[in-house]
Structure 1
Amino acid sequence: MASEDVIGKTTGESAVSTIVNLAEEAKLAREGVKAPGPAFLSICKSLAAGGIAGGVSRTAVAPLERLKILLQVQNSHNIKYNGTIQGLKYIWRTEGFRGLFRGNGTNCARIVPNSAVKFFSYDEASRSILWLYRQQPGNEDAQMTPLLRLGAGATAGIIAMSATYPMDMVRGRLTVQTENTPHQYRGLFHGLKTVLMEEGPRALYRGWLPSVIGVIPYVGLNFSVYESLKEWLVKSRPFGLVDGSELGVTTKLACGAAAGTVGQTVAYPLDVIRRRMQMVGWKDAASIVTGDGRSKASVEYCGMVDAFKKTVRNEGFGALYKGLIPNSVKVVPSISIAFVTYEVVKDVLGVEMRISD
């Protein structure tokens, strides 16, 4: 955990320094002083905004994130975590306050670059897709539609997931391990090195296929629903939710909550399969998910389809939705905070283009 804290501290200091520098550049721009390299600066601002949004939103829901993963991978014949409230109480009683946030430092080390790449990729994919769409006859003045936003969001999700997947794989194992795990991963880099040496480079991408398939509807629907709902509210102005041409923070949070709920419900079974495939090959996984210290072999999966078949056959269809309740409780504030934080930080840094543009 010490190395994880060092990583978090270093990352935090770098982020603060970057924010201060970018804020100064934004101030100069507002005062009419032209800064060098405007294209590069805009990219840095967009990446910084996305990274901050991801770190803030994920830390806010870290206990629910850990409980969700524990529910997804625990043995069905030895239940330790039985629901959201009971599960959180059990973690608090057996591992203390730090147990609720176990793996969050590593999670932020993963989610900050993931979120930065995801939001930036969405911005760029949206512009590219709209440009290509306008090249078609009769579409010269076309605007973004829900379907185009879905495509841009799916593209952004695939790029971000693939770029940071090894960190996600190790983060899942760090989140699952407890104080009684025989051989501890001491942090992100130690985990990456250990998996690489003991299981080979392919192990770092175990579960990648269901992750990519799942991220297409999840991230795609998140962006599409969020942006389309915002656009509809601005145009129709129902219930007096719109002040002028801008939505309030509370309304944006509600839009993010709706987007997150739709996306995670559709993609959740693939997330369960991804987590289970990530545990394959880890010799200490059995003692973690059973909690009894026995050397009972964990289930082996030959691929995504085999993992689906064995999960449903051994535990029933409901196993594909293990941990859905804490994930639902988590995803509403998480997605909402991420979207709103991203837009607020971009305003502070003086980035002209927003995702809704």
Structure 2
Amino acid sequence: MCDAGGYRAPQARSAGESKGRPWAAAAEKHSYEYGSTRYLLLCGLGGMLSCGLTHTVIVPLDLIKCRMQVDPGKYRGILSGFGVTVRDDGLRGLVRGWAPTFLGYSMQGLFKFGLYEVFKIRYAQLLGEEKAYLWRTSLYLAASASAEFFADVALAPMEAVKVRIQTQPGYSSTLRTAAPRMYGEEGLWAFYKGVAPLWMRQIPYTMMKFACFERTVEALYKYVIPKPQSQCTKAEQLAVTFMAGYIAGVFCAVVSHPADSVVSVLNKEKGSTAFGVLRKLGFGGVWKGLFARIIMIGTLTALQWFIYDSVKVYLNLPRPPVAQLPESLAKKK
């Protein structure tokens, strides 16, 4: 099995073969073998926690962002949007939609992070050590896109319920009443009609999230951090993780925002289609709420990577080093 970047070796290494890994002090004490089934399941658990908790924490900001997208006349900005929401619905109105958010994004995180590890390992094996290093950005992009395809199928039902609760006044304020009503009035399709726009939004977002993160971490250790990764403490490595996550999050927000606007309007209006919503919004309309999304996604992405890496630290899982030139390529040069 290969390392995080898929560059070290085609076979998985045991905990005792972890020389040179960034958590050198604990190299002999890893709980599970890198790439093992239990390792991958625990990575999925880390993804559940990172996505579920972070998206739930920022529900108020997400709610304002969605309302700015579907009703820009009433919700003109972030601060005024908070004021309007509190005036109309009280403080409790700011957390409307928290239950489907938590459930939906927990399931998404399970598949996003868990399957990313699976596909990254598998694609690296198929490419071989040298090509996996030379084409590592493409490897990150392909692995993350593959993982997000399945993650969005898991997310779509709860995302549809969440948007309906947050953006359609008087419809319903809770998951237990909104979901049955949607199914009774529109059938199963109500929960999955937004999956294609979700792919449009989430797949580019996730590709940017993982590829930009991986390459930013590599650049930080190469150009910014004054000592090698293997000599950094766990706290220092987690700080690098947070910094790289925030940088990746800003790019993610810009790339995915137009599709996010389409998803918000699509799930609000019955009988709407993605192309119909896109024509209705126009070029300017799809960029409404971008600043709020940059703040939200930048913070969100940084916290997700921080939590994900922290779970690996807590569970004593092997954390492979950043990409390094394989010895075979070094000899050729």
How would you bin the TM-score normalised by the shorter chain? 0.7 to 0.9
Which residue of structure 1 lines up, in the alignment, with residue 258 of structure 2? 269
Which residue of structure 2 lines up, in the alignment, with residue 305 of structure 1? 275
Q: Are the equivalent residues in 1 in contact too, given 2:229–2:321 (CA < 8 A)?
A: no
**Structure 1: distance between partners of 2:290 and 2:228:** 30
Which residue of structure 2 lines up, in the alignment, with residue 172 of structure 1? 163
TM-score normalised over the length of structure 2: 0.79
Indicate yes or no: 2:148 matched with 1:160.
no
Aligned counterparts, 1:255-294, within 5 A: 255-281=244-270
Which residue of structure 2 lines up, in the alignment, with residue 92 of structure 1? 86
The number of equivalent residue pairs is 294
**Structure 1: distance between partners of 2:182 and 2:106:** 22
For each residue in 1:261-310, what CA deviation from the matched residue of structure 2 results, as whole angstroms up to 9, or x when unmatched?
111201211111122111232xxxxxxxxxxxxxxxxxx63x32232122
Query: Deviation at 1:32?
Result: 7.4
- Report the AA paired with residue 296 of structure 2: K
Which residue of structure 2 lines up, in the alignment, with residue 326 of structure 1? 292
Aligned counterparts, 1:82-231, within 5 A: 82-134=76-128, 139=131, 142=133, 145-178=136-169, 181=170, 183-184=171-172, 186-187=174-175, 189-231=176-218
Secondary structure, counterpart of 1:321 in structure 2: coil
Query: Deviation at 1:217?
Result: 1.2
**Structure 2: distance between partners of 1:306 and 1:69:** 18
Q: Are the equivalent residues in 1 in contact too, given 2:43–2:114 (CA < 8 A)?
A: yes
Cα distance change on mapping 1:93 and 1:250 into 2, 3 Å? farther
Secondary structure, counterpart of 2:133 in structure 1: coil
Indicate yes or no: 2:59 matched with 1:66.
no
**Structure 1: distance between partners of 2:151 and 2:36:** 21
Secondary structure, counterpart of 2:90 in structure 1: helix
Secondary structure, counterpart of 1:184 in structure 2: coil
Query: Deviation at 1:175?
Result: 2.1
**Structure 1: distance between partners of 2:150 and 2:122:** 15
Q: Are the equivalent residues in 1 in contact too, given 2:50–2:304 (CA < 8 A)?
A: yes
Q: Are the equivalent residues in 1 in contact too, given 2:149–2:203 (CA < 8 A)?
A: yes
Which residue of structure 2 lines up, in the alignment, with residue 339 of structure 1? 305
- Report the AA paired with residue 159 of structure 2: D
For each residue in 1:12-57, what CA deviation from the matched residue of structure 2 results, as whole angstroms up to 9, or x when unmatched?
xxxxxxxxxxxxxxxxx9997999xx94432332222111111232
- Report the AA paired with residue 52 of structure 2: G
Aligned counterparts, 1:10-89, within 5 A: 39-74=36-71, 79-89=73-83
Q: Are the equivalent residues in 1 in contact too, given 2:64–2:78 (CA < 8 A)?
A: yes
Secondary structure, counterpart of 1:142 in structure 2: helix
Query: Deviation at 1:108?
Result: 0.6
For each residue in 1:161-207, what CA deviation from the matched residue of structure 2 results, as whole angstroms up to 9, or x when unmatched?
012211111111122245xx1x42531x4433222221122222112
**Structure 2: distance between partners of 1:341 and 1:311:** 36
Cα distance change on mapping 1:198 and 1:353 into 2, 3 Å? same
Query: Deviation at 1:240?
Result: 7.2
List alignment gaps of at least 5 residues for structure 1.
Answer: 1-28, 282-299
Secondary structure, counterpart of 1:351 in structure 2: coil
- Report the AA paired with residue 196 of structure 2: L
Which residue of structure 2 lines up, in the alignment, with residue 9 of structure 1? none
Which residue of structure 2 lines up, in the alignment, with residue 5 of structure 1? none
Q: Are the equivalent residues in 1 in contact too, given 2:213–2:245 (CA < 8 A)?
A: yes
Q: Are the equivalent residues in 2 in contact too, given 1:234–1:245 (CA < 8 A)?
A: no
Which residue of structure 2 lines up, in the alignment, with residue 291 of structure 1? none
For each residue in 1:201-260, what CA deviation from the matched residue of structure 2 results, as whole angstroms up to 9, or x when unmatched?
222211221211222211000100011100122233457797835654333222111111
Q: Are the equivalent residues in 1 in contact too, given 2:97–2:174 (CA < 8 A)?
A: no
List alignment gaps of at least 5 residues for structure 2.
Answer: 1-25, 324-333
